[in-house]
Structure 1
Amino acid sequence: MGIRQLMMLAVACSVFLITSCGQSSSKKTESKTENQTTSVDSSFQFTSNIKYAKGFKIERHDGYKELSVMDPWNKGEIFQKYYLIPRGKKQKLSLPSDGQIIEVPVRSIASLSNTQIGILNFLGVLDKVVAVSMPDRIYSDDLNKRIEKGEVAGAGSGQGMTFDFEKIIDISPELVMVSGYMKISNDEAKLIDAGLPVAFNIEWMESSLLARAEWAKFIAAFFNKEEKADKLFTSLEERYLNIKSEINHVTNRPGVISGYHFKGIWYMPGGQSYLAQLLRDAKGDYCWFSDSSQGSIPLSFEVVLEKQSGAKIWFGPAQCRSLKEMADLDERYTLFQAYRDGQVYSMTKRKNEKGANDYFESGVIRPDLMLKDVAKILHPELFPDYDLYFYQKLE
């Protein structure tokens, strides 16, 4: 379930030391150096206010920032800790030894999970990406152009579950970003031991779309882009809450089923997952709201059929483009009312010719569009002039 991604970017200030006998030239150089230092320091001084996300914390200390990723599987424990310091200041600081020390802004990043590509683009640092997990699953036009030019390498497979350790070492990015899952893998530990900082992104365990999107502030900290992330997130939050307010008066709540049967198991979004919260905000009726899981609930086909065969709306498999394709996967899907009524929707509207899906890149950073899509599907009368962005109805 883990996915990895994220590439490093950087704001690098060059200080030119001019040794000449001209006094006015010397003063100009000193002034330029002073201005560059002030610029770096001022961007580093800003610390984000975290409003929704529970999975990370940022604390500012004298000369450095402490960035902690919390462990969602062991409440109260820290999954990984980072000490971020301004570039060039490492030798001047005495830092704790219980975390990875990273000079910021980073200038290159291996982004091994597609969900971080959208955030990097959102922050304006997509040009810092030097490696991705699966190049053929990248939707971004800008990144695809750089992949074609050989500027971005492929460094993994299996949707980010695995990566090529030797290739990452050879590329040697200043930051490797992966999707954290349960515990640090052997290869991830080897990268850290080899001196490559590894940032663990666990946004997928958050309990709301806004909390997921707020991980943009986590990523921004590595690039000295926190102030920009704060401003952009505030705008996203406002749009999301405005859409939510338009739905609040709705009393009709259509029953909803989600996902599909895969290798003997139907992974249903847990009641405390961000997808369940999306359905709450969109005024849907979901059988598993009372469940306490933040991740997925593994269920049998029979249990899902028994409890949700009468659901009105089905948010179905991402790999299917038609009802026939669904029935070809499993004929029992035709037993569900949503299937028989043709009320099955898939997040496949924004797929490119390679099959790469923008839902997995931009979805995390566009909670407003996610909510409006789902609200439009559940309550079409509310947004008559709105065209679905990520989802499409299967025919």
Structure 2
Amino acid sequence: MSKSQRKLFSVMTILLSLLLLAGCATAQKVAETGAVRLEYAKGFKIENVAGGCQEVTDGEGRTLLLVPRGQQAPSAYKNLPTIYTPVKRVVAVSTTEAAFLRPLGELGSIIGVTVDKKHWYINPVKEGMASGKIQMVGGGAGMGPLAYGKIVALKPDLVFMSTGTSGDVQTLKKLEELKIPVAVDNSWLESDPLGRLEWIKFIAAFYGKGQQADQFFAQAVQKVSAIKEKVAGDKDKPKVLWGMIYQGKAYVPGGDSYAAKMIALAGGDYLFKNLKGTGSVPITLEEYYAKGKEANVYISDTMPDYGVTSIADISKQSPVLAGFPTLRQGKVWCYQPWYFQSLDKTAEVIGDLAEIFHPHLFPGRQLKEFMKLPQS
């Protein structure tokens, strides 16, 4: 190659590099704007907008603008409620938010809760309450109203709450009237277990930790996929009854519920899979018995904290249960006390179910979110 050719080649190489860099910059710019991709969740939206800000639609359809601290809200969005991120002081009305904050490393931001210290199983929260760093702001064992005066005095950057009753909606309105920033986490409404877990992206947005949430969620999806693939090879699917009896009625998850989908992912055959509904559905005791007597596995929708510590306790709920083979054979499981503080451990929950349904596929694995009940 001649000297002139080498020079021309060098110039072309530099130009090509500049073009590639420009392309990367353009691609990065495109990635920084537009909707954040959600795979399973349907109850919220996140849109990346100008200046590194985000437009978030919460579980009540309210639109919030998240602005990095030290920046001004873009003029086109100034009419939206603004929350400066990362938030540093939050009130978590539900235990769900604490479960999401655990893998994000942000439990230290919690300054207010509504669950008594004795009912917490997330140690940093329990320790924070013991030291006084975290205050009770209403609720408690009686699930009473929020103590609005306490919340105002704490001056939180944000209150996380869920809505499901008319009382919750009134609470939301009251917080808005008091000019307290609030975001509605309605992950509980999702009918897919991974849809519920994907709400970690919603929580993470208020901390500027979207990338960390994406990575955590992707890893959880991989774990669940691996479990699903492992149990798929076992053609022996146990028939599963999941439910409880309360005040003379039986309640089971609907066939489109997150619980029914977890059973399927873990390789079980849910006996009420054809029952319409995404939540807990009331049925007659006769219907419960007719299906329940076919079960190989019984998942009792209860936990020790609510007085169920043995199969004998379940038998007391109704005489009809005494006829279930699962009770006689000791094939009954219930939730661990911390089950409802483990939404971030959805993959672990599904792994437990897979172990219960197919123990020979998971030798040596110990249950973490469920417990097998003794006879008495």
Shared topology, TM-score over 0.5? Answer: yes
Residue 69 of structure 2, aligned match among 63, 87, 109: 87
Matches within 5 A, 1:118-129: 118-129=99-110
Question: Residue 157 of structure 1 aligns to a residue in which SS?
Answer: coil
- For 2:121, the aligned partner's letter is Y
Q: CA deviation at 1:387?
A: 1.2
CA distance in 1, matches of 2:73, 2:82: 12
Structure 2 counterparts to residues 1-395 of structure 1, below 5 A: 48-63=36-51, 64-69=53-58, 79-90=61-72, 93-95=75-77, 97=79, 100-135=81-116, 136-155=118-137, 156-158=139-141, 162-181=145-164, 184-316=168-300, 317-319=302-304, 320-348=308-336, 357-362=337-342, 364-395=343-374
Relative to 1, partners in 2 of residues 1:123 and 1:160: Cα closer, same or farther, differing over 3 Å?
A: farther
Take 1:270 and 1:158, find their aligned partners in 2: how far apart are those partners?
Answer: 28
Q: Distance in 2 between matches of 1:142 and 1:187?
A: 27
Residue 70 of structure 2: SS of its match in structure 1?
Answer: coil
The Cα offsets for residues 145-180 of structure 1, whole Å up to 9 and x where unpaired, read as 111111101122357574223322222311111122
Counting aligned pairs with the same residue, the percent is: 29
Residues 171 and 332 of structure 1: CA distance in aligned 2, closer, same or farther (over 3 Å): farther
SS at match of 1:260: strand
Per-residue CA deviation, residues 226-254 of structure 1 (Å, 9 max, x unaligned), is 11111111111111111111011222221
Unaligned runs of 5+ in 1: 1-41, 71-77, 349-356
Residues of 2 paired with 1:160 and 1:56: CA distance?
26
Q: Give yes or no for contact 1:271–1:293 (8 Å, CA) kept in 2.
A: yes
Which residue in 2 is equivalent to 1:14?
none
Ranked by relative contact order (alpha carbons within 8 Å, sequence separation 6 or more), the top structure is 1
Return the alpha-carbon distance in structure 2 between the equivalents of residues 131 and 249 of structure 1: 47
Tell me, in whole angstroms, the C-alpha distance in 2 between the residues paired with 1:120 and 1:91: 26
Q: Is the 8 A contact 1:253 1:285 kept in 2?
A: yes
Distance in 2, Cα, partners of 1:212 & 1:161: 25
Whole-angstrom CA distance in 1 between matches of 2:97 and 2:203: 8
How far apart, CA to CA, are the structure 2 residues paired with 1:342 and 1:169?
51
How well do the aligned residues superpose, as a CA RMSD in angstroms? 2.3
In terms of fraction of residues, the more helix-rich structure is 2
Kindly state the Cα deviation for residue 224 of structure 1 after the two structures are TM-superposed: 0.5
Q: TM-score, normalised by structure 2?
A: 0.83
Task: Tell me how far 1:91 sits from its aligned partner.
Answer: 5.7
Q: Comparing 154-163 with 48-57, which one deviates more in the overlay?
A: 154-163
| Pair 1:379–1:326, CA change in 2 (3 A) | same
How far residue 269 of structure 1 moved from its aligned partner, in angstroms, is 0.9
Distance (Å, rounded) in 1 between the aligned partners of 2:69 and 2:38? 24
- Give, in whole Å, the separation in 2 of the partners of 1:394 and 1:276: 21
- Indicate how the Cα distance of structure 1 residues 45 and 153 shifts in structure 2: closer, same or farther if over 3 A, else same: farther
1:205–1:273 CA contact under 8 A, matched in 2: no
Q: Unpaired segments of 5 or more residues in structure 2? A: 1-28
Answer yes or no: is the 8 Å Cα contact 1:48–1:226 preserved in 2.
no
Question: What is the CA–CA distance in structure 2 between the aligned matches of 1:251 and 1:69, rounded to whole Å?
Answer: 41
Q: Amino acid of the residue matched to residue 176 of structure 2?
A: I
- Give the secondary-structure state (helix, strand or coil) at the position aligned to 1:181: coil
Report if the CA contact (8 A) 2:250-2:283 is conserved. Answer: yes
TM superposition outliers: structure 1 runs of 4+ over 4 Å: 44-48, 158-161
In 1: Cα distance, 2:275 partner to 2:332 partner: 24
**Deviation at residue 264 of structure 1 after TM alignment:** 3.4
Are 2:263 and 2:269, in contact at CA under 8 Å, matched by a contact in 1? Answer: yes
CA distance in 2, matches of 1:245, 1:49: 25
- State the SS of the aligned residue for 2:77: coil
CA distance in 2, matches of 1:163, 1:299: 34
Superposed displacement of residue 113, structure 1: 1.0
Deviation, structure 1 residue 93? 3.3
Q: How many residues align?
A: 336
Q: Greater shift after overlay, 326-335 or 58-67?
A: 326-335
Q: Could you tell me whether the CA contact under 8 Å between 1:165 and 1:187 is conserved in 2?
A: no
Distance 1:158 1:100, change over 3 A: farther
Q: If the length of structure 1 is used for normalisation, what is the TM-score?
A: 0.79
Rounded to whole Å, the distance in 1 between the matches of 2:184 and 2:298 is 32
Amino acid at match of 1:384: P
What is the Cα deviation at residue 48 of structure 1? Answer: 4.3
Q: Deviations over 1:175-210 (max 9, x none)?
A: 111122156521221101111122111112222222
Deviation at 1:96? 5.9
- The letter for the 1-side match of 2:350 is L
C-alpha separation between the residues in 2 aligned to 1:91 and 1:391? 46
Shift in CA distance, 163/303, structure 1 to aligned 2, threshold 3 Å = farther
